[in-house]
Structure formats: C-alpha cells, structure tokens
C-alpha cells in the first residue's frame, strides 16, 4: 500500500472495491505510519465512515458536508455502497477538481522533461515544453 502512495505525491486516497464495485475501504496517507507492515491488506488499513458521501445528496449540500471533514476528498457511493466516483475539493476550497483540470496538470507535468544535457553551464535548467 505504501508503494502505491510513494509512486506519486498526487495520490491522496486509494479506494478499495470488491469484484462487484462495493467500496470496502478508503485509504489515505495518514492511515499509514512507520509501524504499518507492508504485508497488511489494504482493506484493513483505511475506513469509510467520514470518507464517503451518498450519491443522492443534493449537490449544493456537498461543500458544507466537506467543510466539517479534514480531507478534501470523498468517495461517492450509491445506497448499496457501490463506488460511483470521487469528489475532490480544490486546495483553496473555492470549487471542485474536474477531470479536465486534473488531466491538464498531468499533461503539464509530463511535458516538462529535464535531461542532464539540458543543464546549462551556470547550473540553471532549461525545460522543454
């Protein structure tokens, strides 16, 4: 589980589902500490209680619901606990993350490639876009 989070600093929550799509656990970095063994099953590490929201909650109530929680992310589930999606609030709390915004940030990060040959003699780095 730790390696999943270590792969990217942009991964904040791991959603664990069964074969039918039922959400079993929502694991965050905060759930892992130096005493969490690598062999421990992911489903036993996280929790659901404060990390989920029902899909039928009116959209205008979601920000207020998120204000009382410390995480900016909530797994969206239906009445049977099936994972529908993820709601992510911007760090500024001024709105919500969108697929388009996430994809744009991912593309921007991937387009900045720095190779040793790009190092200028002054030590500065040139980025190719």
pLDDT for 74-128, tens place per residue?
A: 899 999 999 998 888 877 777 777 777 767 766 776 665 443 433 333 332 322 2
Q: Is the distance from CB of 45 to CB of 4 less than 8 angstroms?
A: no
Inside any domain, residue 123 = no
Inside any domain, residue 104 = no
Range of the domain at 85: 2-97
Inside any domain, residue 77 = yes
CA–CA distance, 57 with 34 (Å, rounded to integer): 37
Inside any domain, residue 71 = yes
DSSP-based helix, strand, coil % in the chain, nearest 5: 30, 25, 45
Inside any domain, residue 27 = yes
Inside any domain, residue 52 = yes
Residue among 58, 51, 40, 59 nearest 15 (CA): 51
> How many domains is the chain partitioned into structurally?
1
Is the pTM higher than 0.85? The answer reads: no
Inside any domain, residue 106 = no
SS3 51: helix
Inside any domain, residue 122 = no
Per the structure block, which two tokens stand in for 21? Answer: 């799509």
Question: Which CA distances in Å does 51 have to 73, 106, 124, 126, 129?
Answer: 7, 25, 43, 41, 37
**pLDDT, tens digit, 9 for 90 and up, residues 38-62:** 777 878 888 888 888 899 988 888 8
Question: Which CA distances in Å does 67 have to 59, 60, 71, 73, 86?
Answer: 14, 13, 9, 11, 16
């Amino acid at each position: 589980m730790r390696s999943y989070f270590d792969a990217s600093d942009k991964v904040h929550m791991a959603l664990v589902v069964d074969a039918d799509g039922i959400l079993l656990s929502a694991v965050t970095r905060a759930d892992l500490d130096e005493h969490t063994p690598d062999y421990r099953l992911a489903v036993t590490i996280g929790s659901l209680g404060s990390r989920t929201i029902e899909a039928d909650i009116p959209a205008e109530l979601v920000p207020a619901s998120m204000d009382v929680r410390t995480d900016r992310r909530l797994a969206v589930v239906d009445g049977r606990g099936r994972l529908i999606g993820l709601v992510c609030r911007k760090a500024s709390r001024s709105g919500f993350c969108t697929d388009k915004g996430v994809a744009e940030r991912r593309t921007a990060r991937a387009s900045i490639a720095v190779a040793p040959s790009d190092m200028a003699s002054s030590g500065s780095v040139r980025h190719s876009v």
